[in-house]
Chains A and B, each alone.
Chain A
Amino acid sequence: MNIHEYQAKELFRSYGVSVPSGVVVDSAEEARTLIESKTGIFGGTAQVFAVKAQIHAGGRGKAGGVKIAKNTSDIPGLVAALLGKTLVTHQTGPEGRLVRKVWIEEGAAISREFYLSLVLDRSSRRISILASTEGGMEIEEVSASHPEKILTLSVDPEIGCKGFVGRRVATFLGLPVNLYNSFSVLLANLYRFFTETDCMMVEINPLILTGEGRLLALDAKVSFDDNALYRQDKVLALRDLFEENELEIEASKHRLNYVKLDGSIACMVNGAGLAMATMDVIALAGGTPANFLDVGGGASKETVEQAFRILLGDPAVKGIFVNIFGGIVRCERIAGGIIAAAKDVKLHVPLVVRLQGTNAKEGREMLRDSGLNLQVAEELFEGAEKIVLAVKGAK
């Protein structure tokens, strides 16, 4: 699960990681009222403000989602221009993301910029710290062009992020010695935040050293482990459903694992690995997969029916390929579920069902005898070829 920058900054602050003061608004009017009443950051000495669009994607700066206001009277106009705008960044995909909230914060005098992140690193099986002197740049770019400017070190979970870890990173970043301690405290706080809230990734880009010698997180990007949300109520409360695909939200309500893609052939599969392989085989047969969908082991009539409804909710879908490997659950039961569900949802696109495994022959016979307009397949690739052909023929 991802959260917005303003939410991440609030969490940072509560864990003792300094961030610029700011306020989140969802209308220009709200910003104007706050400015006129000199509320919060508008009542202080700040002269310069950053006005930042809040979406769950990086690359906002380049996409025009971050503006600088040199005086408060410019702010409402900038807010108005960002709200309702669809930002397209390298992480949003071509459809972009609609801006619904804007974060306004005090500008800071930047003396130096750094990159700092913590990630749950599967290859070291620990939490790894990535630090770089090249703040403000994409870390992937730095990694490609100047790998020597990145320090990666893993924290032993049995030891934790102790002072020596912080000093090592501070030394690498070339911080003045009198800041070693405050940097170590910042890093330890960030690590505590990471472990206590079950993060997968925390990224500060840039972390700045201000003219007054303070360390400040100018940006904040956080993602959490979905498996741990059951014990993270405070994190779960920050979920923004507007940032998620409607069909994916609907699917999750029915405990279906669905990811929408851009293609035209929908698939319904039991098991995540087989579902991915099915997408790949659709592509191999010359089609484009419209989704990932794992219906789990059961594939009962109800599950299949919900799955059909979700797949058909995507207007780009021109055909459906059901691929079930019956293991524990017998294929004739699955066939029964598919027949009942297909009748109920009144399918209007071609359907190919591939059944294999326990009692697959009986299952396929039931499907053939059902009177439904569908094709049956035995092998995975055969099924994919059939649906690709059926979709082409229907055009």
Chain B
Amino acid sequence: MSILVDRSTRVIVQGITGKEGSYHAMACREYGTLVLGGVTPGKGGTVHEGFPVWDSVRDAVEAVHPDVSLIFVPPAFAADAILEAADAGIELIVCITEGIPVQDMMRVRRILDIRNEEGETIRLIGPNCPGIITPDGAKIGIMPGYIHKRGRVGVVSRSGTLTYEAVWQLTQLGLGESTCVGIGGDPIRGLNFREVLALFEKDPETEAVVMIGEIGGEDEEKAAAFARAHMTKPIIGFIAGLTAPPGRRMGHAGAIVSGGKGSARDKMKALESYGVIVVDNPSVIGQTVAETLKSGSYRRVPACHG
């Protein structure tokens, strides 16, 4: 088992004829992902690098019934691309694009929320993220596939390369990963830590979760509060940005301490108070997971019972 995606997941790529889209569609296919083709308006009916191309997501849905759309559309058109995928009935949308205006994402998120309230199940991963991978199953994103190894640890993160760092440690130690979800570095995004933690809790293959957060917002705190009440599996957490000055954006649009809120120190304290094992040195994430799993003494008792 794994979460959200596996070997049978059917994928299309929006923006498949662009440089990024094209390169990564091939890399995903090479990894073993079922990439069935892609969408570029105006290029429907052509074949690109062996992939059939459709004019619209709706055409692609009719032709190949995909489960997932992976989006590489430039920032100015990305919000539209997400809505197009949702409108065509795609249930898992993975948006890699970095630099989407925040108010565009505000409107997209509102519309997805409305549709979900009306009974649909549309999940968005990203934007500004590396994507999602279930090792030996499906790689749907831009992460280097070979650093992963199928295993026992779920990974959820706001960062890209920092996630690779943690994954690499888990792989080297032989623990491996069940699924890794990059939820993205933007202030308004789709799936959040809390939702991904809930999925990992239900996944029998996942024995522990690594949660990599960073400065800005309160999502890590909210997720940890949720975990305290609803999770039995151990969570090992790291928060990047202890040395980041307030008021400055650290690369990611969402990585900013503002109005005295969202500092790494506050997040680490909150996470600890909710029972997350917080490491301050990212070099020891893997080792900490190994020790936690080995000790076996770790049995979280949900707060509602205790």
Q: Does B6 contact A (CB under 8 A)?
A: no
B75 at the interface (CB under 8 A from A): yes
Contact in complex: B251, A228 (CB < 8 Å): no
- Do residues B164 and A280 form an inter-chain contact, with CB atoms below 8 A? no
* A195 to B244 CA separation, bound complex (whole angstroms): 29
Contact of B102 among A225, A261, A274, A275 (CB under 8 A): A225
The answer for the CA separation of A226 and B128 in the assembled complex, in Å, is 14
Q: How far is the CB of A55 from chain B (nearest CB, A)?
A: 14
Indicate the size class of the contact surface on chain A: 35 or more
In Å, the complex CA distance between A382 and B283 comes to 9
Within 8 A of A (CB), among B133-153: 142-144, 146-147
Q: Chain B residues with Cβ under 8 A from A380's Cβ?
A: 165, 282-283
- Whether A125 sits at the interface, judged by CB under 8 Å, is yes
Q: With A125-B110, A357-B147 in contact, is A273–B157 under 8 Å at CB?
A: yes
Task: List A contacts of B110 (CB < 8 A).
Answer: 125-126, 156-158
B49 at the interface (CB under 8 A from A): no
A283 interfacial by beta-carbon distance below 8 Å: yes
Q: A31 interface residue, CB < 8 Å from B?
A: no
Q: Are A228 and B188 in contact (CB under 8 A)?
A: no
For residue A134, CB closer than 8 A to chain B, the reply is: no
If A328-B142, A328-B144 touch, does A198 touch B103 (CB 8 Å cutoff)? yes
Q: Does B41 contact A (CB under 8 A)?
A: no
* B243 and A358 form a contact (CB under 8 A): no
Does A276 lie within 8 Å of B244, measured CB to CB?
A: yes
- Smallest distance from the beta carbon of A252 to chain B beta carbons, Å? 12
Query: A139: which B residues are within 8 A, CB to CB?
Result: 259
Q: Does chain A have a CB within 8 A of B218?
A: yes
**Residue B173 at the chain A interface, CB threshold 8 Å:** no
For A358, give its contact among B104, B146, B188, B251 (CB under 8 Å): B146
Q: A156-B110, A227-B99 are in contact. Are A281 and B161 (CB under 8 A)?
A: no
B250 touching A157, Cβ below 8 Å: no
**A228 contact set on B, CB distance < 8 A:** 101-104
A294 to B217, CA, bound (A): 21
Are A157 and B107 within 8 A (Cβ)?
A: yes
Q: Which of A122, A275, A283 has the most chain B CB atoms inside 10 A of its CB?
A: A122
- The listed residue (A195, A259, A261, A274) touching B165 by CB distance below 8 A is A274
Shortest distance in angstroms between B89's beta carbon and chain A's nearest beta carbon?
21
Cα A157 to Cα B111 with chains together (Å): 9
Give the distance in Å from the alpha carbon of A284 to the alpha carbon of B146 in the complex: 30
* Closest residue on chain A to residue B143 by CB atoms: A327
List B residues 4-55 near A (Cβ within 8 Å).
Answer: 27
Q: Indicate which residue in B109, B161, B219 contacts A327 across the interface (CB closer than 8 Å).
A: B161
A132 lies within 8 A of chain B by Cβ: no
Contact mask for chain A residues 349-388; partner B; CB cutoff 8 A; 1 contact, 0 none:
0000000111000000000000000000001111000000
**B106 at interface by CB-CB < 8 Å:** yes
- Known A-B contacts A198-B101, A226-B253; the reply to A327 vs B144 at CB < 8 A is yes
Q: With an 8 A cutoff between CB atoms, is B240 at the interface?
A: yes
Considering the chains assembled together, what is the distance between the CA atoms of A283 and B282 in angstroms? 13
CA distance A226 to B264 in the complex (A): 23
A140 within 8 A of B: yes
Task: Write out the residue numbers on chain A whose beta carbons fall within 8 Å of the beta carbon of B303.
Answer: none
B55 to chain A, nearest CB (A): 25
Closest residue on chain A to residue B245 by CB atoms:
A261
The reply to whether the CB of B198 lies closer than 8 angstroms to some CB of chain A is no
* Given the contacts A227-B253, A328-B144, A274 and B168 also touching, CB distance less than 8 Å: no
Residues in B neighbouring A283, C-beta threshold 8 A: 242-243
Is there contact, CB below 8 Å, between B282 and A259?
no
A349 to B98, CA, bound (A): 34
Q: Is B187 in contact with chain A by the CB < 8 A criterion?
A: yes
Given contacts A276-B215, A292-B244, A380-B283, contact A356 B165 (CB under 8 A): yes
Tell me, rounded to whole Å, the shortest Cβ–Cβ distance linking B288 to chain A: 13
> Which A residues lie within 8 Å of B143 (CB)?
327
A72 at the interface (CB under 8 A from B): no
**A91 with B247, Cβ < 8 A, contacts A125-B110, A277-B165, A327-B143 known:** yes
Report if A294-B240 is in contact (Cβ < 8 Å); known contacts: A125-B110, A274-B161, A327-B164. no
27 pairs, CB–CB < 8 Å, chain A vs chain B: A123-B217, A125-B188, A126-B106, A126-B110, A140-B260, A227-B253, A228-B101, A259-B249, A261-B243, A269-B161, A271-B164, A272-B185, A273-B251, A274-B161, A276-B162, A276-B214, A276-B244, A279-B243, A280-B240, A280-B264, A281-B283, A282-B243, A284-B280, A292-B244, A292-B248, A328-B27, A380-B165
Other A-B pairs beyond A127-B106, A259-B250, A272-B255, 20, CB < 8 Å: A120-B187, A122-B217, A123-B219, A125-B106, A157-B106, A228-B104, A259-B245, A269-B161, A272-B160, A272-B185, A272-B252, A274-B161, A275-B251, A276-B255, A279-B243, A280-B241, A356-B165, A357-B168, A358-B144, A382-B283
- What is A's interface to B at a CB cutoff of 8 Å? 91, 93, 120, 122-123, 125-127, 139-140, 156-158, 195, 198, 200, 225-228, 230-231, 257, 259, 261, 269-277, 279-284, 289, 292, 294, 325, 327-328, 356-358, 379-382
Using CB atoms and an 8 Å cutoff, list the residues of chain B in contact with chain A. Answer: 27, 75-76, 99-104, 106-107, 109-111, 114, 142-144, 146-147, 157-165, 168, 185, 187-188, 212, 214-219, 238, 240-245, 247-255, 259-260, 264, 280-284
